[in-house]
Amino acid sequence: MKSRKITEKAVIITAAIGGVLILIMLIANTYWAYEQSTASTNQAVSAVSAFYLESMADRRAKTITNLINNNFDYMEKAVSVIDDEQIESQEDLRAAIGRMKNLLSLSRFALVDEEDIVYTQYTTYTGRSRHPFLANKTLDGRMISTVFRYGSSKDLCLAIPIDIKIMGKQFKACFVQIDINDIVGLLAFDDQESTHFALYSENGGNISETELGQFIGTKNIFDATNGNVSEEEWNSFRDDFANGKKGTLTFTINDVVDTICYEPVPDTGWELVVMIRESVIQDQFQEISKKSLADNRRQIIFILVVASLFSTLLFYMMRRIANDKLKEEKENSKAFKSMANTDSLTGVRNKHAYMETEAQLNSWIREGAVDKLALIVCDINGLKYVNDTQGHAAGDKLIKDACSLICNVFSHGSVYRTGGDEFVVLLSGKGYDTKDETIADFNRRVEENIKTNEPVVSIGYTTLQPNDEQVHDLFERADHMMYDRKKELKNMGAKTRES
């Protein structure tokens, strides 16, 4: 082929250009190494304060804020759903509260009527003496407070005003209480205890009961730092807590220098405090120095690699035609295999791909190499009815819309179309770990779709059990559960094969 012929002239030109490029790279890398050394010095100055302190404190304060905002949003959604239900007795109300708790993962969710009677999932009681926010006759907006349950246990109480009528009674508020220990779990570090954190009230009291380093521990932070910094710094530190400001403080206790960063948690009256041990600061400077040295070594290796690659390029040019042909054949083979395993209507994996995966999983199950595996059987409700009454084009659209719903919700799973209206989802890893929340979200969306005439999909699910010998064992259990779900959705008004 004349168009692919590599001439001697082309090789010489390539060699000349390569030599010039290597020379340019040597000069550029020398200049780059100098700039990198300067940048490393500047990085060392700002590394501790920028990364360890401000970033950690700010992110964890935002974590609490996001948790609070999410719970407020969930409460408003729960109240809206309960207001729409036909509730005629306290048993109905408790059941509705329980469903909302489970569905939205709310902690200690309750409603309060105009007589300050508190309604929870399990009981009813007078709440004026137990909940400080009820001291106000009316609740003007969102309210956040810290409450004591018993002993030293503390809760974060979130309350909002509502205006709904249930069982002939006017309800004025709802609230949730979040265990402080649950919040602490969200903020925990994983760095061999080199970094510590704690939540404090405006007066310096430790709310989270987490130890802030070896010397402060769980003590009042003002008492622990008093006398270990100048009076001016200490007074400024207390003023920042009282006024919800952020800042840093360096102090010395028993000849050990520690640095803390404090960040206010909006609307709670809390300050999140993060402490970095002195050894971590030293390690950061050492790590940056080592990185700079490693960068220089990498530059030398890089030049050697480039020279080797250039030599390899000359050889590659003589072998290019054969390699291009081989590559083209491999790509064609891969494309054909992908087409064989892809459902043409939905674009997800087809039954052939599922059978290959099933065979591989069966082998791993026999070898005991599978630990976490969940299987979900999906069946589209009313596909035959749509095909018969609206035509197969409408039926194809229903299949594609249902597939999009399955793929969007089970985004961490492998989706297969195994029949006309049947899909299978396999979950492992992250998809397995979040399966309960994902399945609950899917069923909630499906039940909402009944009202809006959008795709309704019945699902059954199960997980790998010790006595399972093959994937089909999981499929049978999930398939039975799916048919039970189909009957349940039919009773809710979902389409069936006939109507």
What percentage of the chain reaches a pLDDT higher than 70?
Answer: 78
Which of 333, 339, 382 has the alpha carbon at shortest distance from 494? Answer: 382
Given a contact cutoff of 8 angstroms between Cβ atoms, the answer to whether 112 and 174 are in contact is yes
Query: Cβ neighbours of residue 345 under 8 Å, at least 6 residues apart?
Result: 396, 399, 400, 417
In this model, does residue 324 exceed pLDDT 80? no
The three state secondary structure string of 232-282 is HHHHHHHHHHHCCCCEEEEEEECCEEEEEEEEEECCCCEEEEEEECHHHHH
pLDDT digits (tens, 9 = 90+) for 124-140: 988 777 777 777 767 77
Predicted local confidence at residue 411, as pLDDT: 92
> How high is the pLDDT of residue 427?
95
d(CA 299, CA 304): 9
Chain mean position to CA 206: 28
> What pLDDT sits at residue 319?
64
- Residue 252 pLDDT > 80: no
The one-character DSSP state at 80 is H
Q: Is the pLDDT of residue 463 over 90?
A: yes
**Average pLDDT rounded to a whole number, residues 347-365:** 94
Dihedral over alpha carbons 348, 353, 359, 362 (to 10 degrees): 0
Closest CA to 448 of 81, 75, 83, 98: 81
The pLDDT assigned to 6 comes to 60
Look at residue 47 in the predicted model and tell me its pLDDT: 52
DSSP state of 349: B
From CA 453, how far away is CA 437, in angstroms rounded?
24
For residue 262, list its beta bridge partners: 247, 273
Tokens at residue 392, please?
Answer: 């197969």
Least confident of 123-127, 148-152, 180-184, 250-254: 148-152
Query: What are φ and ψ of residue 247, in 5° steps?
Result: 175, -175
**Residue 46 pLDDT more than 50?**
no
Please provide the size of the chain in residues: 499
Tell me whether strands 422-427 and 413-417 are parallel, antiparallel or unpaired. antiparallel
Query: Is pLDDT larger for residue 192 or for residue 178?
Result: 178
Report, as an integer, the average pLDDT of 411-416: 93
Give, for 163, the enclosing helix (H) or strand (E): strand 154-166
Give Cα 455 to chain centroid, integer Å.
27
Q: What is the mean pLDDT of residues 267-280?
A: 76
Check pLDDT > 50 for residue 309. Answer: yes
Mean pLDDT along residues 150-156 = 73
Which pLDDT score, from 0 to 100, does residue 239 have?
92
Rg over CA atoms, the chain: 32
Task: Read off φ and ψ for residue 177, nearest 5 degrees.
Answer: -125, 125
Res. 236 pLDDT band, cuts 50 70 90: very high
Its pTM stands at 0.47
- Tell me what pLDDT residue 2 has: 45
What is the side-by-side strand order in the sheet with 195-200? 195-200, 270-276, 256-265, 247-253
| Sign of torsion over alpha carbons 127, 130, 131, 132 | positive
Cα–Cα distance between 102 and 106 in angstroms, integer? 7
pLDDT grade for 157, boundaries at 50, 70 and 90: confident
**């008492």: which residue's tokens?**
223
Work out the mean pLDDT of the chain and round it to a whole number: 82
pLDDT 10s digits, 106-121:
878 999 988 889 999 8
